[in-house]
Amino acid sequence: MAEFVIRGGEVVDPSGRRTADVRVRDGFVVEVGDALDGPEVLDATGAIVTPGFVDLHTHLREPGDEDAETIATGSRAAALGGYTAVVAMPNTRPPLDDPTIVRAVLAIGADACCEVISSGCITRGRAGEALAPMGELHALGVRVFTDDGACVMSAGLMRRALEYSLGLPGAVVAQHAEDDTMCAGGSMHEGAVSSRLGIPGRPAEAEAVIVARDLRLAALTGAAIHFLHLSTAAAVDLVRAAKRDGVRVTCEVAPHHFTLTDEACASFDPAFKVHPPLRSASDVAAVRAGLADGTIDAIATDHAPHTPEAKERPFEEAPPGMLGLETAAALAYTELVESGECSLAQVLAALSWNPARIAGVEDRHGVAIAPGAPANLCVFDPSATWTVDPAGLASRARNTPFAGRTLHGRVRHTVLRGERVVVDGEAQR
């Protein structure tokens, strides 16, 4: 494996911030210092050198919906977005509730442009009726268990899942917190905008009641719980209080939930349809405050590709979901760092080492850049300015809500296990 030097950047990692060059050899960082030279150089002048990003929430659509995305195309988009690892969500066809399917995903992912980590279903078929074989899936390396896209509605079954996870080292149960009985038929946030548009809504309380319930279950069992894509002020407040009380809870937020409000749906453009839905301005402010004070642990993309044929249906008929892998870091930098609401280190923690810890891959991702560390790295240029063009994205799909938006900050290089998979913004495979 080639040796090279990342030269001229500012290293920002869990240990702090300093100007340094980084030498990579045989898949590992071997030297961090000043004025390093080598046979090949990656230019990091004016850029940030950081551990690669880790996405806790990626829909790769394979198996079953390869016309929208594949592991190959999704992982390429991830690498271009600075990600060296993604957690593949289980709502594939068939779902990731069986060891055979998990093995197949991991086998395909072995050649991907980032590490593909398989999640596993909480319940068989994501039907919410019986537990999936969590122990068998855990033996294959699964650490995140979720029925994402479907809330586990049974409190008794959720309790059993949490209790069972206690016997699985490193396991975390991750909930899609939307009460189905309150959201049925809803296509956007329930509020003044939905009333004006005549579109059935999904109330903020549908998230809060599940978060409140599952926090009580986590406290009862002592198990770790993670909440996917939180979107409401009430949910953030509940998690904040639970953390103060010592509950083992973590949570994530998607970039669209700290950048867009339900007013975007006034265009009736299905690109803005997502579950949980875009919320009110006060919810967006609360989510941003939760990132700033550390209540929210991670920024996760909820990358959800759909074919144009599916997404271009009328708003209420179109499937929910948005692309996110290539725009997440730039949105976080533009919206949170440039506004002064979060420091650069806070945002990088939420993109890299915090999700790495939650996913149980902190041995190789989100690691401080020092001799002996695995070379899973991202070089991010905060001075780069670019405009989101759906046709220029690596995903097989085009359903981004940020088309035409100018962003600050872009990934220059991505290094996976010492291999340069993105160089000067171009995927190498």
**Domain extents for the chain?**
4-47+378-395+405-427, 51-366
- In the chain, the largest separation of any two C-alpha atoms, in whole Å, equals 63
CA distance 11 to 9: 6
| 4-47+378-395+405-427 topology per CATH | Urease, subunit C; domain 1 (2.30.40)
- How confident is the model over 285-311, as a mean pLDDT? 98
- How confident is the model over 326-336, as a mean pLDDT? 98
CB-side neighbour CA atoms (13 Å) of 377 = 36
Task: Output the average pLDDT for the chain.
Answer: 98
Share of the chain above pLDDT 90, in %: 99
Q: What is the pLDDT of residue 222?
A: 98
- Read out DSSP for 24-56? EETTEEEEEESS---SSEEE-TT-EEEEPEEEE
> What is the DSSP code (8-state) at residue 245?
T
Summarised one tens digit per residue, pLDDT across range 74-96 is: 999 999 999 999 999 999 999 99
Give every CB contact of residue 71 below 8 A, 6+ residues apart in sequence. 60, 62, 88, 105, 108, 109, 112, 116
Catalytic positions are 302
- How confident is the model over 167-182, as a mean pLDDT? 98
pLDDT at 1 over 70: no
Summarised one tens digit per residue, pLDDT across range 413-429 is: 999 999 999 999 999 99
> What is the DSSP code (8-state) at residue 278?
P
- How confident is the model over 391-395, as a mean pLDDT? 98
> What is the DSSP code (8-state) at residue 320?
P
**Which ranges in 203-301 belong to alpha helices (H)?**
204-221, 233-244, 255-259, 281-292
Residue among 182, 322, 341, 326 nearest 256 (CA): 322
Q: What is the pLDDT of residue 2?
A: 84
Contacts of 106-109 with CB under 8 Å at 24 or more apart are 106/140, 106/141, 108/62, 108/71, 108/72, 109/71, 109/75
Q: pTM for the full model?
A: 0.98
Q: What is the pLDDT of residue 158?
A: 98
Pairing mode of beta strands 249-253, 225-227: parallel
- How confident is the model over 258-267, as a mean pLDDT? 98
- Split at pLDDT 50, 70, 90, the class of 52 is very high
- How confident is the model over 155-173, as a mean pLDDT? 98
Residue among 128, 74, 66 nearest 97 (CA): 128
Contact 222, 234 (CB under 8 A): no
What kind of architecture, by CATH, is found in domain 51-366?
Alpha-Beta Barrel (3.20)
Summarised one tens digit per residue, pLDDT across range 190-216 is: 999 999 999 999 999 999 999 999 999
Contact 426, 411 (CB under 8 A): no
Q: Looking up tokens 């198996």, which residue turns up?
A: 63
Summarised one tens digit per residue, pLDDT across range 3-45 is: 999 999 999 999 999 999 999 999 999 999 999 998 999 999 9
Q: What is the pLDDT of residue 134?
A: 98
